[in-house]
Amino acid sequence: MRRSYSTLAIVLIALYLAGPALAQPDVKKVEVGVQFTSFTLFPPPREGFQPANVTEPEFGGRITYNLTRRIAVESELNFFPNKNIFQFLGEGRAVQGQFGIKTGKRFKQFGVFGKARPGFLSVGKVFFHEPGAKLPTPYGFSIPNARIGRQTYFTTDVGAVLEFYPSDRTLVRFDAGDTIVRYGKSFEEIGFNPSQLAAMPAKIKHNFQFTAGVGFRFKDSRPSQSVPVSKVTSREKILKYEVGIQFTSISFDPPTPIFGDAVISGPELVDTEPGFGGRFTYNLNRSVALEAEGNFFPRHQSLSGGGGRLLQSQFGVKAGHRWQSFGIFGKARPGMLSFSQVNKLVSVQNGFFGTIPVQFGIFRTGLKSYFSADVGGVIEYYMSRRLMTRIDVGDTIVHYSEYAIRGFIASQQIIRRPPETHHNFQFSAGVGFRF
C-alpha cells in the first residue's frame, strides 16, 4: 500500500511538470469553501463478524492555496452530525480531516484535477480490547481488557475533482474518490473470553466518498484582463429545456419496525443511502419551472415496510429568482418511493387454530410504492448559457401505508402497523445542459 501511495505521488508530480506553465508563478490565490459529503464506509471484520457497509452524511469546510494554475495545497475538515456513527465501528460522533495536494488543469470555465490527501478519521465511543484495561458496567462488574474511548485512524483521500467557475470570485466543486482507512493493530477475544486476547494485524479498507460544495476565491490566479464567461442576462431569452444528472443522498428516518409478535416503538438508527439519477426541467418563464426527477439507489434496503432496491420519482414545480450567474428557488414536488421487495398482505382468510377463530394472511413479495413529497431549496450556478450546476437540499416526506407481517402466536396471525409519515433529509448535486 505504501508503494501505491508513492506511485500516485510520482504520477501527480509528473502530470504537473509535463504541462506548460499556464500562469505566472508569483500569482497566488486563496479559496475558502463549504461542502456536503456522503461517506460510504466498508468496516473491517470484528471477532469473526463482518458488519454491513453504511453511508453517513457530513458537512465541513475547506481552505485551498493555489501555488500555480495547475497545483494547489489544501486542507479540509468534515463533521458527522449523527451519533451511533458507522454502527459497529463506534457510537459517538466523528470528525474527518484531510490535508494534501491537488493538481491538474484549469480551463476558462472549469478545471479537472487529481488529489492525494493524507489525514485522519476520529470516531468517538469506540469499544475495543486493550490488555490490562477494565471496563466498568452498570451491573456492578467490569469487563477485563476492554475500553470505550475515541479512536483515530489514518486515512488517505485519493480521487478526482471537477470545478466550475460561474465568476472570477465563485466556484462550484465536486469531489469523488476513494478514502482509504488504515485500522491499526487490534486485539480480539479468544473463544469469547475477554480475559484472553489475540493480537490482530492492521487492516486497510477502501471507501467511496462523494462531496459537493461552493467556494469563494479571494484573489484570482488568472490574468487581470480576462473577461468573465458568458452568463444569462435579463435581456436574454431563457432557454426552455434542461436535462441533468445528479448524485443524491437520502437519510431515512425509518418507520416503526415490527419484530416477532409486536410493534416495537422507539428510536432507530438513521440509514443514509447514496444514489444517482436524472432530471428534466421545462422553464415556463425566468421564475417558474415544471420538472421531473428520477433516482435509483443500488444498495439493498432492509427497512420495515421497505425492502430490496429503491426507486424515487418526483414531479412538481420550482419557483424563485434567477440572476446573471446564479438562481435561488424553492421546490414542491410530489411523487413516490418504490421498494422492489416488500412483504405484502394480499388477502385474509378466516379459520380456526384448534377451537380459537383466527384470521390467516396470504402474503406475497413484490414492488410497493409509497407517496412522497420533496420540499426544499435549490441553488443553480450558470457557467455559460448552455451549462449549469445545481445543488438541492430538502425534506423528502414519505407516507408509509399500513404494513403487516405474519404473526407467531395463535390468537394473532397477522401483526399490523398503522400508516406513518416520516421526514427524511435529502441532498443532491449535479450538472445540467440547457437547450
Model confidence pLDDT, tens digit, residues 250-263: 988 888 877 654 44
Q: pLDDT tens-digit profile of 375-430? A: 999 999 998 889 999 999 999 999 998 888 877 666 677 788 889 999 999 999 99
What pTM value is reported for the model? 0.76
Tell me the pLDDT band of 127, cut-offs 50, 70 and 90: confident
Q: Tell whether 143 and 251 lie within a shared domain.
A: no
Q: Tell whether 396 and 249 lie within a shared domain.
A: yes
Q: Tell whether 210 and 272 lie within a shared domain.
A: no
- Of 136-145, 244-253, 320-329, the range with the lowest mean pLDDT is 136-145
Is residue 222, in this structure, part of any structural domain at all? Answer: no
Q: Tell whether 260 and 173 lie within a shared domain.
A: no
Give the span between the Cα atoms of 214 and 381, in whole angstroms: 10
Is residue 226, in this structure, part of any structural domain at all? Answer: no
Q: pLDDT tens-digit profile of 45-97? A: 776 677 777 888 889 999 999 999 899 999 999 998 887 656 566 778 899 99
Q: Tell whether 205 and 262 lie within a shared domain.
A: no
Is residue 235, in this structure, part of any structural domain at all? Answer: no
Q: What range defines the domain where residue 187 resides?
A: 2-217
Q: Which residues pair with 156 in a beta bridge?
A: 118, 180
Is residue 234, in this structure, part of any structural domain at all? Answer: no
Q: What is the average pLDDT score of the chain?
A: 83
- The pLDDT assigned to 204 comes to 93
Q: Tell whether 192 and 100 lie within a shared domain.
A: yes
Q: Tell whether 331 and 253 lie within a shared domain.
A: yes
Q: Tell whether 73 and 212 lie within a shared domain.
A: yes
Is residue 388, in this structure, part of any structural domain at all? Answer: yes
Q: Tell whether 289 and 147 lie within a shared domain.
A: no
pLDDT of 19 higher than 60: no
Is residue 385, in this structure, part of any structural domain at all? Answer: yes
Is residue 229, in this structure, part of any structural domain at all? Answer: no
Q: Tell whether 300 and 423 lie within a shared domain.
A: yes
Number of domains composing the chain: 2
Q: Tell whether 66 and 106 lie within a shared domain.
A: yes
- Of 28-37, 80-89, 157-166, the range with the lowest mean pLDDT is 80-89
Q: pLDDT tens-digit profile of 266-311? A: 445 567 889 999 999 999 999 999 999 999 999 887 777 777 899 9
Domain end position, chosen among 202, 217, 232: 217
pLDDT of 245 higher than 90: yes
Q: Tell whether 303 and 186 lie within a shared domain.
A: no
For residues 345-358, average pLDDT: 76
What CATH number did the domain enclosing 407 receive? 2.40.160.20
Is residue 360, in this structure, part of any structural domain at all? Answer: yes
- The pLDDT assigned to 236 comes to 64
